[in-house]
C-alpha cells in the first residue's frame, strides 16, 4: 500500500531530513538518500529533494547533492540550509575517500534546484579537539551573525561545538555551545533557533528507557557563546522517530520534520523504497513544556479514535504488539491521531507527548 500523507522517495533509501527551509515560495525538504537501493550506501549517500506549498503534498525533485569530489567521495551527509540575499546555501558533512574524516562543506543555489559546490570546500577541515565525530552542521542567524552548531562528543560526553560567521563562508570557532553526558556520547543532528524571548535547541543521540535513540528539546538562553537551558523536554516518544530538524516558516512558526523510522528497523532488500518523513509539526512552548503538534495545514487529517488506541483519563495505551510497551501515564486531556496505511502518529495533550509507530513490524 502507498503512503498517503508521509513523504517518501519514489525509489531507494531515506533517513535524516536535511536543509528544511522556505525559499522562493515553497517549502524545501532535503534528506539523506541512497537512490540506488532500499538500504544505506556509504559511497552513494546523497541529498534527495522535495518541495511543497502546503506541507502536506510534496513533489520529489532531482537529487540536489551527490558525491563528486575527493573531499565528499564517501558521501554527502546531514546538514542544514539558510537563505542569504535571496540565495540558498546548504551546508553538509563531507567524508573524504582518502582518510574518511568528517569535514564540512557548502553548496549554493540561485533557484533552489541546481546547486554549485563552493570552490573553497571543505570550509571546516578539522574539529576543535581530537575526535572522529564532527558532523551535522546546523546554521542559523541571530542578529547580524550566523552561527553553526556541529555535532560532536569526546570521552563519552556529547558536545555541540559553536562557530561564527559574517558571510557563511569563513567560520571562526566560538567554543562549546553545550555539553552533557546525559545526551549520549555524541550530540547528533542539532537544531537551534531564536524563539520568543529565548532559544530552542534540539538534538538526538541519547537513549530512551527502551535503549532506543531519543531526541531532546531545550528552551533557554544564549549569550553568543554558550547555551543554558531553562527547561528540557522529550515530547517525541517514538519508537519510530529520529534525527528531526526544525526551521522557521515565513509566518514565524517553528516547524519540525523528523525521520519516521529507526536504524534497527529490519531492511527489506526487495522493497522499492524505505523510510519516510513525519507529518510536519509546529513547536510551541507553554506552561514550561515544549510541545510538538501537527501544523495547521495538516489538522484536517486528524481523528480522535483508532482501534489500537485505548484512552482513559490517566492513561493512553497503543496496542501494537511491539516488543517495548507503548503507553502514556498521566492526566489525559486530549488525544488526536493521524493514521496513514501502516503508520500511526498519536498526539496527547496538544503534543506534550507524541508516539510515532510503524504498525507493520509487530515483533
Domain ranges of the chain: 12-296
Chain-wide mean pLDDT for the chain? 93
The pTM for the full model equals: 0.95
Mean pLDDT computed over 318-339 = 86
pLDDT tens-digit series, residues 69-80 = 999 999 999 999
Mean pLDDT computed over 86-107 = 96
pLDDT tens-digit series, residues 267-305 = 887 889 999 999 999 999 988 999 999 999 999 999 999
Mean pLDDT computed over 44-71 = 97
Rg (CA), the chain: 19
Spatial CB neighbours of 152, under 8 Å, sequence gap ≥ 6: 127, 129, 131, 133, 134, 135, 158, 159, 160, 161, 186, 187
pLDDT at 205: 86
pLDDT at 362: 40
Question: Within 10 A of 9 (CB to CB), how many other CB atoms are there?
Answer: 22
pLDDT exceeds 50 at position 363: no
* Cell numbers linked to 62: 532531482
pLDDT tens-digit series, residues 248-258 = 999 999 999 99
Percent with pLDDT over 90 in the chain: 82
**Cβ–Cβ < 8 Å for 187, 134:** no
Q: CATH homologous superfamily of domain 12-296?
A: Glycosyl hydrolase domain; family 43 (2.115.10.20)
Query: Which of 3, 11, 2, 110 has its CA nearest to residue 60?
Result: 11
Q: List, by residue number, the catalytic residues.
A: 16
Amino acid at each position: 500500500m502507498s503512503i498517503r500523507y508521509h513523504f517518501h522517495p519514489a525509489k531507494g533509501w531515506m533517513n535524516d531530513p536535511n536543509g528544511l527551509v522556505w525559499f522562493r515560495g515553497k517549502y524545501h525538504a532535503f534528506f539523506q538518500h541512497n537512490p540506488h537501493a532500499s538500504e544505506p550506501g556509504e559511497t552513494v549517500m546523497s541529498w534527495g529533494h522535495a518541495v511543497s506549498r502546503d506541507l502536506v503534498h510534496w513533489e520529489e525533485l532531482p537529487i540536489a547533492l551527490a558525491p563528486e569530489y575527493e573531499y565528499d567521495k564517501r558521501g554527502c551527509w546531514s546538514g542544514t540550509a539558510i537563505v542569504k540575499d535571496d540565495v540558498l546555501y546548504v551546508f553538509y558533512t563531507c567524508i573524504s575517500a582518502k582518510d574518511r574524516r568528517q569535514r564540512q562543506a557548502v553548496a549554493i543555489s540561485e533557484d533552489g534546484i541546481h546547486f554549485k559546490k563552493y570552490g573553497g570546500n571543505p570550509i571546516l577541515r578539522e574539529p576543535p579537539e581530537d575526535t572522529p565525530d564532527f558532523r551535522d552542521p546546523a546554521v542559523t542567524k541571530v542578529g547580524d551573525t550566523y552561527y553553526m552548531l556541529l555535532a560532536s562528543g569526546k570521552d563519552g560526553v556529547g558536545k555541540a561545538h559553536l562557530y561564527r560567521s559574517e558571510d557563511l563562508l569563513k567560520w571562526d570557532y566560538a567554543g562549546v555551545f553545550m555539553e552533557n553526558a546525559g545526551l549520549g556520547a555524541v550530540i547528533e543532528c542539532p537544531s537551534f533557533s531564536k524563539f520568543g524571548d529565548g532559544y530552542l535547541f534540539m538534538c538526538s543521540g541519547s537513549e530512551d528507557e527502551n535503549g532506543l535513540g531519543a531526541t531532546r528539546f531545550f528552551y533557554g538562553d544564549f549569550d553568543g557563546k554558550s547555551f543554558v537551558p531553562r527547561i528540557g523536554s522529550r515530547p517525541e516518544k517514538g519508537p519510530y522517530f529520529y534525527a528531526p530538524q526544525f526551521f522557521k516558516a515565513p509566518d514565524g512558526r517553528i516547524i519540525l520534520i523528523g525521520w519516521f523510522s529507526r536504524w534497527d528497523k529490519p531492511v527489506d532488500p526487495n522493497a522499492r523504497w524505505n523510510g519516510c518523513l513525519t507529518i510536519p509539526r509546529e513547536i510551541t512552548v507553554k506552561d514550561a513544556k515544549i510541545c510538538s503538534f501537527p501544523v495547521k495545514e495538516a489538522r484536517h487529517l486528524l481523528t480522535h479514535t483508532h482501534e489500537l488506541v485505548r484512552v482513559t483519563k490517566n492513561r493512553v495505551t497503543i496496542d501494537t504488539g511491539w516488543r517495548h510497551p507503548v503507553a502514556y501515564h498521566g492526566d489525559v486531556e486530549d488525544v488526536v491521531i493521524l493514521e496513514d496505511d501502516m503508520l500511526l502518529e498519536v498526539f496527547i495533550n496538544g503534543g506534550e507527548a507524541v508516539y510515532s509507530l510503524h504498525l507493520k513490524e509487530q515483533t
